[in-house]
Amino acid sequence: MEKIIVVGGGAAGMMAAARAGSRGYEVHLYEKNNRLGKKILITGKGRCNLTNDCDVETLLENIPGNPYFMYSAFYHLDSPQTQELFHRLGLETKVERGRRVFPVSDKSLDVVFALEQYLRESKVKLHLDSPVEEVLISQGRAVGVRLKKGTVVEADAVIVATGGLSYPATGSTGDGYRFAKKAGHQVTKLYPSLVPLKAEEAWCKSLMGLSLRNISIQVKNKKGKTVFEEFGEMLFTHYGVSGPVILSASRHLLFSMEEGYRLYIDLKPAMDEKKLDMRLLRDFEKYANRDFGNALDDLLPKKLIPVIIALSGIAADKKVNNITKEERKNLLSLLKGLPLTITGTAGFNEAVITCGGICVDEMDPSTMESKFVKNLHFAGEVLDVDAYTGGYNLQIAFSSGYTAGEGVLAQ
């Protein structure tokens, strides 16, 4: 029986190993951690947004990094097929806002359990606490691996699914890039992506933990050109901002963070300036005899009010009926574009994924096999493919892993 080694027990590695095993091969999965799926466990705040309930075209539209490369893989395993596979493995799922798919239990652990079930069905042999030091190549083909403890394990093919550099505590420390370079592949510059942003303004710290829903953001460069805008949710942190719209925005700023960006938060995107002004006038009429500091309760979250007051330049103890038209206009501008100065990202420790990776032009997209080394395949985040939030990145991992498992030793 031909033997396949899979390096990495994350989403792509488990899928690759199980698919290869289901084809009748002897498959050995090597994972450096003492358990499988460590990164899956922390995705979606521990709920695991495992895919997006959409068609292939929509998947591709949500991949800013080399979408064309995934075309073939998505036809091997698309979102409906992924959901169907998980259902067969005993995982019940539900579709939430933005067509994001989660386990009904809201537990990412159940996604890992389902993948472990797939591995058992496929008779995959697991080797935990077993870091791989080197992929062995002889006469232009992969012939096995050498473990960190020195043991050499021979095989007919090797699939590398070691992840990127994001959340290094889960074991993603860039091993796959090292293996790829040794095999003659190019690795593009690596950036933390889908990552919280740092801001210059000290008032962010006072809003730490405040979540804003139904806001829209606009990111502008130094020349005032809009480079990103989106509607959705965000969150303030002790050093800046996070949340879905911020993570998506980060993907557009990575390559030129030093240029200096300004983020503008529209706190009331459902109303244009005229409508919001009428709303302000109604509130001001209602609270005409109150201090300004006590007149915004109907409009804003409690925690945000002191910041807006301070930035508006209107004294908190000024009576509402004394606020001038000019002051109201300034307040209006603030509500429609609360400004922040972006100074950087929170780095790989807090990045959901890695942007960049092994050059995909050097891979066969229909099998994930190296064009340089026979029987050496790569899958998942180690490749230079990345997407926005919403379940798309895990779908890339599952589809590329499945394609590698399907394509290994197929010729």
* Mean pLDDT to the nearest integer, 10-34: 98
1 pLDDT more than 80: no
- What pLDDT sits at residue 258? 74
CB-based burial label for 71 (10 Å; 0-12, 13-18, 19+) = middle
- What pLDDT sits at residue 260? 86
In the predicted model, what is the mean pLDDT of the chain?
Answer: 96
Place of tokens 């889908």: 194
Q: Which residues pair with 198 in a beta bridge?
A: 240, 344
| pLDDT band, very low/low/confident/very high, at 172 (cuts 50, 70, 90) | confident
| pLDDT band, very low/low/confident/very high, at 141 (cuts 50, 70, 90) | very high
Query: pLDDT tens-digit profile of 207-238?
Result: 999 999 999 999 999 999 999 999 999 999 99
Alpha-carbon gap, residue 230 to 216, rounded angstroms: 5
Residue 313 gets the label, from left (phi > 0), alpha (psi -120 to 50) or beta, of left
Query: Across the beta sheet with 152-154, what order do the strands follow?
Result: 132-138, 141-147, 152-154
| Buried b or exposed e, range 247-261, using 16+ CB within 10 angstroms | bbbbbebbeebeeeb
Place of tokens 């002004």: 277
Alpha-carbon gap, residue 405 to 5, rounded angstroms: 11
Could you tell me the two tokens for 103? 């386990």
Q: Which three-class secondary structure state does DSSP give residue 194? A: coil
* Mean pLDDT to the nearest integer, 329-333: 97
Residue 359 gets the label, from left (phi > 0), alpha (psi -120 to 50) or beta, of beta
- What pLDDT sits at residue 169? 81
Alpha-carbon gap, residue 200 to 390, rounded angstroms: 28
Instruction: Please report, rounded to a whole number, the percentage of residues in the chain having pLDDT higher than 70.
Output: 100
- What pLDDT sits at residue 167? 81
* Mean pLDDT to the nearest integer, 82-91: 98
Contacts of 100-104 with C-beta under 8 Å, sequence gap 24+, read 100/49, 100/52, 100/53, 100/390, 100/391, 101/49, 101/50, 101/51, 101/52, 101/53, 101/391, 102/44, 102/47, 102/48, 102/49, 102/50, 103/47, 103/48, 103/50
Alpha-carbon separation of residue 111 from 11, 30, 37, 78, 138 (angstroms): 9, 19, 9, 17, 37
Task: Report, in angstroms and rounded to the nearest whole number, the Rg of the chain calculated over CA atoms.
Answer: 25
- What pLDDT sits at residue 106? 98
271 pLDDT more than 90: yes
Alpha-carbon gap, residue 301 to 142, rounded angstroms: 58
**Could you tell me which residues come within 8 angstroms of residue 202 by beta carbon, excluding any fewer than 6 positions away?**
none
Q: Which residues pair with 125 in a beta bridge?
A: 28
HEC readout, 14-27:
HHHHHHHHHCCCEE
| pLDDT band, very low/low/confident/very high, at 256 (cuts 50, 70, 90) | confident
Closest CA to 335 of 178, 229, 216: 216
Could you tell me the two tokens for 192? 């933390």
- What pLDDT sits at residue 205? 96
| pLDDT band, very low/low/confident/very high, at 257 (cuts 50, 70, 90) | confident
* Mean pLDDT to the nearest integer, 82-94: 98
11 pLDDT more than 80: yes
Instruction: Please report, rounded to a whole number, the percentage of residues in the chain having pLDDT higher than 90.
Output: 95
Query: pLDDT tens-digit profile of 336-381?
Result: 999 999 999 999 999 999 999 999 999 999 999 999 999 999 999 9
Alpha-carbon gap, residue 158 to 145, rounded angstroms: 8
Query: Across the beta sheet with 51-52, what order do the strands follow?
Result: 51-52, 100-103, 93-96
Closest CA to 339 of 392, 263, 279: 263
Could you tell me the two tokens for 114? 């389902």
